[in-house]
């Protein structure tokens, strides 16, 4: 993917800007890792009885019941949970998979639109993923994890790839192939996890990411 340097901007400044932009996804990774480290310490009883993770899920997880008639633990919980759930994970493996994905997809998005719009897209798709879960999922259990935003990043990259290829009259089959692969991966994971996969979050994040991508950068620029 081509990166253009604005006229009049020194090459050194451009390189520094790119290096800074690349740190933004890493900062999100660091925040999620630090939170999970604290929760792991809580699981080991470092802070007393191992209830810290349960408390974190109760306060920051996405609870569909709070969109109905459940009583929140604090006044802004029904609003804040649309974001806080994305910084909590279900253990080290869940965290590892999501953070590798965040770093990989995040760099591509930052290169396309820069750090500010990357953050706008990331949090919009996080909210979109939660909305998808809240509207579709039929469960009383909480949802945690960054996968809504991650599928949003994937949706954005696919949308831009589609625009680029359509603009320059290239074959669109690779886009359909990736979309099919994502569907298959979700189906396999749903089966492997005995239905405990928040595919509704993935769907909400993906659709939001596709729409946001076309709003942020609708031009084809291979």
Query: 43-90, pLDDT tens digit by residue?
Result: 999 998 899 999 999 999 999 999 999 999 999 999 999 999 999 999
Q: What is the residue-level pLDDT of the chain in tens, covering all 222 positions? A: 444 445 554 557 778 888 888 899 999 999 999 999 999 999 999 998 899 999 999 999 999 999 999 999 999 999 999 999 999 999 999 999 999 999 999 999 999 999 999 999 999 999 999 999 999 999 999 999 999 999 999 999 999 999 999 998 889 888 899 899 899 988 988 887 777 889 999 999 999 999 999 999 988 886
The answer to whether 60 touches 85, Cβ cutoff 8 Å, is: yes
Domain boundaries, the chain: 11-216
Look up the pTM and report it: 0.90
The answer to whether 89 touches 62, Cβ cutoff 8 Å, is: no
The H or E element that residue 217 is part of is: none
For the beta carbon of residue 153, count every other beta carbon within 10 angstroms: 29
The answer to whether 43 touches 52, Cβ cutoff 8 Å, is: yes
Total residues found in the chain within this entry: 222
* Superfamily the domain 11-216 falls into: Rhomboid-like (1.20.1540.10)
Please name which of 164, 166, 149 lies closest in space to residue 208, comparing C-alpha atoms.
Answer: 149
> Residue 81 is encoded by which pair of tokens?
């949970």
């Amino acid at each position: 993917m081509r990166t253009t340097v604005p006229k009049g901007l020194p090459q050194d400044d451009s390189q520094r800007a790119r290096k800074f932009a690349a740190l933004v996804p890493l900062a999100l990774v660091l925040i999620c890792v630090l939170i999970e480290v604290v929760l792991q310490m809580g699981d080991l009883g470092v802070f007393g009885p191992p209830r810290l993770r349960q408390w974190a899920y109760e306060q920051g997880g996405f609870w569909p019941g709070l969109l109905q008639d459940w009583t929140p633990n604090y006044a802004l919980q029904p609003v804040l949970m649309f974001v806080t759930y994305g910084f909590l994970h279900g253990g080290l493996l869940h965290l590892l998979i999501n953070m590798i994905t965040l770093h990989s997809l995040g760099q591509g998005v930052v290169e396309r639109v820069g750090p500010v719009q990357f953050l706008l897209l990331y949090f919009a798709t996080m909210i979109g993923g939660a909305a998808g879960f809240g509207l579709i999922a039929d469960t009383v259990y909480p949802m945690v994890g960054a996968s809504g935003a991650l599928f949003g990043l994937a949706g954005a990259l696919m949308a831009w790839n589609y625009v680029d290829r359509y603009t320059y009259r290239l074959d669109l089959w690779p886009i359909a192939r990736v979309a099919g692969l994502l569907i298959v991966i979700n189906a396999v994971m749903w089966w492997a996890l005995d239905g405990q996969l928040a595919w509704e979050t993935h769907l909400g994040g993906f659709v939001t990411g596709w729409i946001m991508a076309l709003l942020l950068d609708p031009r084809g620029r291979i």
